[in-house]
Amino acid sequence: MEKIDKKETGSRLRQFLLSKYSDLETAAEYLETTVSSLRNSYFNGQSIPGKSILEKLKADGCNIDWLLFGAVPEKQVSRHLPEYRIEAAVPAGRGEVVDLTEWYQGDVLDYSPDDHVFIKVDSEFGYSMMPLIQPEDLVLISLSAPVYDGDLVAARWDKTKGALKLCTFPPNDRSMVMLSSYNSAVLPMVFKRKEIKMYKVVLIKKQSRRK
């Protein structure tokens, strides 16, 4: 049986928690432990997380094989990923488009199915994010990528309620989060960070529509 390196496990645990939560206090509260225990027991390699913590980490999108052994799923390593040409650099404000066709650049869409899932925008109640996202569009979300201020996220705040929104962290209170719509007629929603789960939207797949 493969031996677990406690220090490496502690390092990966710290990496995951800092990428997932705004601070260690929020992470510790979710895991039902303390910041002191995280730092003194796990991060420094004194012990490894027990069953209850591992189950919570898994439910929050952590790959347990990676956490304990640093393992990368075989299909993630062996997948052939197509490369897409970067055609031009486009300004976000006013400015000229820079033609890059003579200087080949490319990138791949490296979204492992072990860590990413599609969700479909509801056809009846999916109008709050128009025109950016429309009903029937598919959005790809990451189960482990860190969420930053201004990100587009898929949020869940209980077993039945969720939405696609723009995420904002108030600078004076990082324990809170505001979820806003593109449609200005829809009022923002404010939650305590610990009350919701947020998953970063990394790709929007626009569905074909007839005119």
Do residues 29 and 90 both lie within one domain? Answer: no
Q: Where are the beta strands (DSSP E) in the chain?
A: 83-85, 88-89, 98-99, 106-108, 116-120, 138-142, 152-156, 162-168, 176-180, 189-192, 197-205
Domain-embedded: residue 1: no
- Cα separation, 138 vs 121, in Å, equals 6
Over residues 183-198, mean pLDDT = 88
149 shares a domain with 99: no
- Please compute Rg for the chain using Cα positions: 20
Instruction: Please report the pLDDT score of residue 120 as a whole number.
Output: 87
Nearest-CA neighbor of 177 among 203, 204, 155? 155
Query: What per-residue confidence (pLDDT) applies to 71?
Result: 72
Alpha carbon distance 149, 171 (integer Å)? 10
Strands (E) in 34-97, as ranges, are: 83-85, 88-89
Higher pLDDT, 113 or 178: 178
C-beta atoms surrounding 11 within 10 Å: 16
Q: What average pLDDT does the segment 174-201 reach? A: 89
Q: Is residue 94 predicted with pLDDT exceeding 50?
A: yes
CATH code assigned at 126:
2.10.109.10
Judge whether 211 lies within some domain: no
Q: Is residue 178 scored above 90 in pLDDT? A: yes
Taken as a whole, the chain contains a residue count of 211
d(CA 29, CA 156): 18
Q: Is the pLDDT of residue 92 over 70?
A: no
Confidence tier at 203 by pLDDT (50, 70, 90): very high
Residue 210 covered by a domain: no
The CATH number that applies at residue 32 is 1.10.260
- Tell me: do 125 and 187 sit in the same domain: yes
What is the rounded CA–CA span in Å between residue 79 and residue 74?
Answer: 9
8 A C-beta contact, residue 179 and residue 166: yes
Q: Render 90-143 in DSSP notation, one character per residue.
A: --SSS---EE-TTS--EEE----TTTEEEEEPPTTT--TTTTTS-TT-EEEEES
* 177 — pLDDT class (breaks 50, 70, 90): very high
The domain in which residue 158 lies consists of 116-205
pLDDT for 80 equals 56
pLDDT value for 165: 92
Same structural domain for residues 127 and 181?
Answer: yes
Q: Are residues 168 and 154 in the same domain?
A: yes
pLDDT tens digits, one per residue of 17-56: 877 777 888 888 989 999 899 989 998 889 999 999 999 8
Q: Is the pLDDT of residue 111 over 60?
A: yes
**Quick one: pLDDT at residue 74?**
45
Domain boundary among 108, 132, 157: 108
In this structure, the answer to whether residues 168 and 92 fall within a common structural domain is no
**Same domain for 23 and 52?**
yes
Residues 133 and 81 in one domain: no
DSSP letter (8 states) at residue 2:
P
Does residue 99 share a domain with residue 19?
A: no
The residue from 43, 71, 99 where one domain ends is 71
CB 19, CB 146: distance < 8 Å:
yes
pLDDT-above-90 percentage for the chain: 25
* Whether residue 26 is found in the same domain as residue 90: no
Overall number of domains in the chain: 3
Question: What is residue 77's predicted lDDT score, i.e. its pLDDT?
Answer: 43
Contact (CB, 8 A) for 132 and 182: yes
